[in-house]
Amino acid sequence: MDQSEIDALLSGGNLEEENKKQQDIVDSLIKPAETEASNEIDNTPSTEKPEKPEKPEKPKKKGAVMGQLSKVSQEAEEGTTLVMNYLENMLNIATKQKEYSAKLETELKENTLIKSTEEIIAYFKDSSFLIEDLIFNAMDAFQFQDINRQKLMKVMHTLTQLNTYLNDLLGDDSVDDDKPVNFGRNIEDKTLATDLDKENVDDIIAQFQNSN
Amino acid sequence: MKFLVVDDSSTMRRIIKNTLQRIGYTDLAEAEHGKDALEKMDGIDIILTDWNMPEMDGLEFVKTVRTTNKTIPILMVTTNAAKDDIVDALKNGVNNYIVKPFTPETLKEKVESVLK
């Protein structure tokens, strides 16, 4: 959201309209990128002989792949924690804003109410609920982090097994892997879609309960 | 009503705790894994636990809890989505099951279901 939109919102604009405008801006930002991406695809068959692929660089130290994957997992957790802190602070502000609005409303009811004041209060109330909902949604979206972390750990586990196997086969005893990893065995692929298996899970639970 | 949220991911613990607070449950404790959770069981009325955790996983934790407490409601919140996993969890004393990622509505519905 840019400053003009924030100003429009602060000046008491309709929140639904503002949301629509925001979505339009997002859509307009997405569409050119998609067009550019599709322009990059060249379907013309190439007559040139493909170049021989370059041999990858030798890793600078042992266990580089595992180390990198481990870092990705660790940094994703740290980064998400940081964003969660920001979001929780915003949530506290929104909650406080709601409390103040309610307090102001009570106090004003004891005197003469001015129409514009009522509108301001209504606006602040609506916006607070909206902000709160958005923040909760953003927090829920971070479930992907835990799922991705487990996927990375699954990769690490597979690589470790492969590494161990190759070292056993080739006689290199430099593997250091006493830390067990924990990951889901059947992780849903569509990380960002929620409740994919809800109905299935409920069915299974019902079947289990009926059989007992 | 005191909840114990057990998950090795601090992000997941916070997501679950924030959702529970929003539903209206404010007395919340948390633990990083099964062993940690066993030490924090005093005064707990309901458990929400992940499955895949270091030290002691969720299933082992549930089995251990059930040796001494047959009645406390336990809700498994995990990425394990296979039917065998769900049945395994139920057989070992889990009352209900949520597959990650979940919506706040599902968490609310499942919590209310095990508290009935």
pLDDT surpasses 90 at B45: yes
Residue B116 within any structural domain of the chain: no
Which B residues, 29 through 68, put their C-beta within 8 Å of a C-beta on chain A? Answer: 51-54, 57
Q: What is the pLDDT of residues B86-110, one digit of tens each?
A: 999 999 999 999 998 898 899 999 9
- Domain hosting B54: range is 2-111
Given a cut of 50, is residue B21 above it in pLDDT? yes
Minimal CA separation from B58 to chain A, in Å: 11
Place of tokens 């070292």: A167
What is the CA A156 to chain-centroid distance, rounded? 22
Confidence at residue A172, expressed as pLDDT on a 0 to 100 scale: 54
Q: Give the minimum alpha-carbon distance from A76 to chain B in angstroms, rounded to a whole number.
A: 11
The per-residue pLDDT for A25 is 39
Q: Which residues of chain A have pLDDT under 70?
A: 1-65, 68, 112-116, 172-199, 212
Does the residue B55 lie in any domain? Answer: yes
Model pTM?
0.62
Query: What pLDDT score does A113 carry?
Result: 58
- Interface check for A168 against chain B (CB to CB < 8 A): the answer is no
Chain A within 8 Å of B26 (Cβ-Cβ)?
Answer: no
Closest CA to A136 of B87, B20, B48, B46: B20
End-to-end distance of chain A based on CA atoms, in angstroms?
55
Residues from chain B that touch A92, judged by Cβ atoms under 8 A, are: none
Query: Residue B93: its pLDDT value, please?
Result: 94
The enclosing domain of B98 has a CATH number of 3.40.50.2300
Higher-scoring residue by pLDDT: A140, B17: B17
* Number of independent structural domains in chain B: 1
A91: which 2 tokens?
């949530």
pLDDT more than 70, % of chain B: 100
Give the model's pLDDT for residue A27.
Answer: 43
| Domain boundaries along the sequence of chain A | 1-38
Nearest CA in chain A to B50: A184
CA nearest neighbour of B12 among B72, B83, B65, B79: B79
Give pLDDT, residue A173: 56
> Which DSSP category does A191 fall into?
T
**pLDDT for the residue A23:** 43
Counting every residue, how long is chain B?
116
Determine the pLDDT at residue A195.
58
pLDDT tens sequence across A59-111: 555 666 677 677 777 777 877 887 788 788 878 888 877 877 787 777 777 77
